[in-house]
A and B are shown apart, each in its own frame.
Chain A
Amino acid sequence: MSDLLDKGSAWLEGQRKKHATREVTYRRGMDAVVVKATIGRTLFEQDDGAGVIVRMQVRDYLIDTADLVLASEPTLPAKGDRIEEIDAGQKHTYEVLPLGGEQHWRYSDPYRRTLRIHTKLIETEEV
């Protein structure tokens, strides 16, 4: 018997990708791929653990696992990878980094179709 939840999840993921994404560039060193990403939660955080406050914008991206292909090889997010997003004439660069007690990424669904990638804004420049 087929897994109805699996089928439902696949349909939902298809709808997300079709109707709730924008193109971003996923980059690791010299390798890059343009993928459709849903922008997840965006927060402003601060850390004062070392006595010096560091303020940052934290953003999650949801990307199809199958779309993350670098140098012709399927891959998973690595700490230090970059996601570039162009918006209103500005290029925002986010770095893949852990968030609080969480790893830098996790699967967003039980069927491992979608990656939820945690990032932090490291650069904004005019394009």
Chain B
Amino acid sequence: MATIIQIADAVVAQLNAAAFSQALTATRHYAPSFKLPDMKALHVTVVPRSISSMSLDRNRDTFNYEVDVAVQKKTDGEQATLDALMTLVEEIADHFRVGPLASFPGARCMDVKNSPVFSPEHLDEFRQFTSVLTLTFRLVR
């Protein structure tokens, strides 16, 4: 299995095993596609994003694997609901920043991006919270 898929699966496993302020079930997708009426339930989606590599020595490369974690939920637009979802996004980011991937310990999370912190377009047009974390895992092989 491709390394990035193994890393994405490890991210899914870790999300599902950890305790966050809101219960969640993460799933891995290639091309996530959801219907708006289904978004009343919290969706946490893991998608492989990109791979880059740099030569380290004659035999090894340093690989950066980017994996997206999308947190999405149709909301009532209430600030308290949105604040709680922002807290969840931060908890997920902190979770990967501070610890190794339990089922893939060779890959270290080196960078966490969350820009923009939420999609204003989704909030305006669907009253749906969408925030995408991009986690970069480094692996030497």
* Residues of A bordering B, CB below 8 Å: 46-47, 49-57, 79-80, 95, 97-100, 120-124
Task: Decide: B37 and A122 in contact? CB cutoff 8 A.
Answer: yes
Q: Mark B82-126, 1 if CB is under 8 A from A, else 0.
A: 000000000000000000000000000000000000010110111
A98 touches B125 (CB 8 A): yes
Sample (26) of A-B pairs whose CB atoms are under 8 Å apart = A49-B122, A50-B119, A50-B121, A50-B122, A50-B132, A51-B32, A51-B70, A51-B132, A52-B32, A52-B34, A52-B47, A52-B130, A53-B31, A53-B34, A54-B122, A54-B128, A55-B33, A79-B77, A95-B127, A98-B125, A99-B125, A120-B36, A121-B36, A121-B37, A122-B36, A122-B37
B119 touches A49 (CB 8 A): yes
Known A-B contacts A49-B119, A120-B126; A56 and B70 likewise in contact (beta carbons under 8 Å): no
Closest 3 CB pairs of A and B: A56-B36, A53-B33, A50-B119
Shortest Cβ distance from A17 into chain B, in angstroms?
29
**Closest Cβ neighbor of B74 among chain A residues:** A122
Complex interface: chain A residues within 8 A of B126 (CB): 47, 54, 56, 97, 120
A50-B119, A79-B127 as given contacts; A55 in contact with B36, CB under 8 Å: yes
Interface of B: prevailing SS? mixed
- What string of 1s and 0s marks CB contacts (under 8 Å) between B46-59 and chain A? 01000000000000
A53 — nearest CB in chain B belongs to which residue? B33
Closest to B118 in A: A50
Within 8 Å CB of B32, what residues of A? 51-53
A55: B residues at CB distance < 8 A: 33-36
Cβ-defined contact, A98 with B36, below 8 A? no
Compute how far the CA of A123 lies from the CA of B40 in the bound complex, rounded to whole angstroms.
9
A-side contacts of B125, CB under 8 Å: 47, 97-100
Instruction: Report the separation of the CA atoms of residues A50 and B122 in the bound assembly, to the nearest whole angstrom.
Output: 8
Cα(A46)–Cα(B122), bound, Å = 12
B36 near A80 with CB under 8 A, answer no
The contact of B70 among A47, A50, A57, by CB within 8 Å, is A50
Contacts of B124 in A (CB 8 A): 98
> How close is A12's CB to chain B, nearest CB, in angstroms?
31
B76 at the interface (CB under 8 A from A): yes
Q: Closest Cβ of chain B: how far from A120's Cβ, in Å? A: 6
Q: Which residues of B are found within 8 Å of A56, using beta-carbon distances?
A: 35-36, 126
